[in-house]
A and B are shown apart, each in its own frame.
Chain A
Amino acid sequence: MGNGAIALGALAAGVNLVAGYPGTPSSEILETISKYPHDGVHIEWSVNEKAAMEVAAAAAYSGARAMVTMKQVGLNVAADPLMSLAYVGVKGGMVIVSADDPGPISSQTEQDTRRFADFCRIPVFDPSSPEEAFSMIKDAFEYSEKYNTPVLFRPTTRVCHAYASVETPEYAGPKEYEGFVKDSKKWVIFPRLSFANHAMIEKRNVEMGKDLSGYCGNTVEGGNSKKAVITSGISYAYTKEYLKDYPDIKLIKLATAYPFPEELVLSALDGVDEVICIEELSPFIEEQVLKLAGKHHLQLKVSGKLDGKVQPSGELSADKAAVILSDFLGTQCANSGYNLSDAPALPIRPPVLCAGCPHRASFYAVKQAMKGRKAYFCGDIGCYTLGNAMPLDMVDTCLCMGAGITMAQGFHWTDSDGVCFGFVGDSTFFASGMTGVANAVYNNADMVLCVLDNSTTAMTGHQPHPGIGRNLMGQIVDKVDIAKVLEGIGVKKVVTVNPLNLDASVNAVRECADIHGVKAVIFKSPCIAISKPTAKCTISDKCVQCKKCIREIGCPALIISNGKVTIDSGLCTGCGLCSQICPVNAIGGGADE
């Protein structure tokens, strides 16, 4: 996998420390490192991206090679240290992997990490395949050390999750490093330092752009055609899939969109009348080419997103690239596949909470407790965002990591009649929930915090977090107890319940809703994808086919088969939620029997 290639590339480069926070499509990078020999390398899931960035920064100040991994929205969380770090610089190589997600396939935004590079004035590397990602990580470390700057590394989902074979050398261990040398003029950021370094950085970037013009990842292929194509990252693979049949077309591939390798592009565009920029997310390269054309008075027509030739948003594909390129070049675009205009209507399949997921029970309990009352349900990022689906319909808002808790407070200030709920998962609670709770207590808000504690970071592939008692180094560590944290912050009432016990859960929510101040219900039950319960429930012939179970909770294991309500034994985990809802007690089995 591309993420595996990044991990192995970093190990081959002698990385000393890797820190990250899980997020699709980046999570497998750290996981791969943990599975391969990495003696002497410190690896950690940090509580959030900001923490990861700062841990790594200190390592890089000490001359060690450090890598940070996250998804693109994680870079927003880590933006504060990154901006300053760009000014201060590093000694050992520091590579920040921020995985972009065109589509978006599993993200809140379609932001472009290359913009961050420009914004922070630091270089960005953009691999086009897993193979290239493997070797490019080492280059990124080398450029980082050569110019004493943190470096961004930006793969996209289709590179992260693509598989290819790479040859890896035997692990030679981490790099030797000098250690931290105190020098407050260098490592303590003050306006004076920022002023001086800003000037130095702008000058350096011009030099670096020249240097990168000779970088092996920036290439020019094809002949001396009047029409040329510029592309980068996975879009190169899509473009190449089409241009392999047109080897005379000039194809410029840029692995470093910033600093822009101006000299290389300028000479490659010599004799070219028209160029199209094929890229995902923002028209970053296109804007650079337009600037270049303006600066050098080139007679050049520049196409891409800005003139509507390339779609402004969403993912590209080999097929889309073929359409764009055939239109640009006036060539054939033969998709010889089936025409499916006569296909029957397809069922839609929105993602749903798994059968037996304890989150379903938690949401249902809150829903029952608030029946007939005005309430706001502020959701958050994680599997439990799926609580929005019918029939639960329990997520009124979802903004970003940790926002559920704070938004619940905002709703309270705008409507004191409603009961305001903030939902947060255990991993998200540690990542960015705790400060929100302190905010509520301090500002005397009225809210019910629902911590959906399933003892894992489920959505991204079950990474451990501070509440679990195990870390990525394989050590057994003290658990950070969520209930104690809440009590410590000053939450008035903290109740822990098992969500699979419906009555107890409903009562806990009702009780908390009626007290003034900040209250919390911790719904504690393990993620079924980890605990893998083997119990099953079945429906007896007492069933009157009222379908209440299906209508109320939407468990995927409850299906209608041959006209009858049935439990799919392949999916059911015997959680027993449906059996507590059935009005005629037709459902039996499960863990209790």
Chain B
Amino acid sequence: MNKNILICGVGGQGTVLASKIIAASAMDEGSAVHSAETIGMAQRGGSVTSHVRIGEAYSPLIPGGTADMILAFEPAEAVRNLSYLKKDGIVIVNSVPVKPVTESLMNTGYDGTEMVAYLKNKCSCVVIDAKKICEPFGSSRYFNIAILGVAAGTGRLGISKETILAEIEKRVPQKFIETNKAAFYAGYEEGKKYEA
């Protein structure tokens, strides 16, 4: 199986953990995996991306127009990285915007709606409201796991949900495992609705 998955968002949103779980799960299932992520200054509130390439690959970064799936933790970041998407690829996007400080200062009115509308019109996409889906867990912090659930639920990730759950168990602190699993399932149910 060859798959390219791009994860994008804003530094501090937990994109790195999500990409690590996907990469490790694919490896657990016997695939070769190459991946790359943003480290350094951009982690301080800048745009960040992780590229996960499952199967044969040379470049650690996904070539343009070849991503099967984009997991976007923020609507503008989904648009920023859309050139990576394959024509028949899918975007899973959080509709809740992260407003840059410059936005609060200048009040440009960015609230993400325009981005979501653009995405819907352009490509096949699943829009998730992170606040809503994470409400039962008390913090949007769990969104990175919930979005993995959505991705698995659509059936287009090519990795079984059991493998992902096992990786989640390995990687999150003991006392948060149950909440993370619940977040994963909440996402999974949501993703099922879009099963291809």
Contacts and interface: CB of A to CB of B under 8 A. Distances in A.
A558 B80 CA distance: 24
A25 B57 CA distance: 22
B101 interface: yes
Contact of B99 (A347, A390, A391): A347
Interface residues of A, number: 58
A556 B59 contact: no
B40 A24 contact: yes
Nearest to B48: A349
A172 interface: no
B139 A570 contact: yes
Interface stretch (A73-81, A197-205, A338-346, A579-587): A338-346
A317 B60 CA distance: 9
A560 B105 CA distance: 9
Contact of B118 (A236, A322, A343, A560): A343
A244 interface: yes
A240 B58 CA distance: 7
Given A163-B23, A343-B79, A346-B76, A336 B101 contact: no
Contacts of A240: 58-59
B56 to A, nearest CB: 8
B14 to A, nearest CB: 11
B36 A349 contact: no
Contacts of A238: 58-59
28 contacts: A105-B40, A106-B41, A129-B60, A158-B60, A162-B36, A163-B33, A163-B36, A164-B33, A238-B58, A241-B63, A244-B58, A318-B63, A319-B64, A336-B86, A337-B86, A337-B87, A338-B83, A338-B85, A338-B122, A344-B114, A346-B79, A347-B110, A349-B45, A349-B46, A349-B47, A459-B41, A554-B105, A570-B141
Main secondary structure of the interface of B (DSSP, over half): mixed
B103 interface: yes
A344 B36 contact: no
Interface in B50-108: 57-66, 76, 79-80, 82-87, 99-105, 107-108
Given A163-B34, A351-B42, A389 B118 contact: no
A330 interface: no
A560 B44 contact: no
A25 to B, nearest CB: 7
B83 to A, nearest CB: 5
Interface residues of B, number: 58
Contacts of A236: 58
A560 B107 contact: yes
A340 B155 CA distance: 27
Given A24-B41, A390-B102, 6 more contacts: A238-B58, A317-B63, A337-B87, A338-B87, A350-B45, A354-B44
A475 interface: no
Which A-B residue pairs are the 10 nearest by beta carbons?
A337-B65, A106-B40, A162-B60, A318-B59, A24-B40, A351-B44, A318-B63, A351-B46, A240-B58, A163-B35
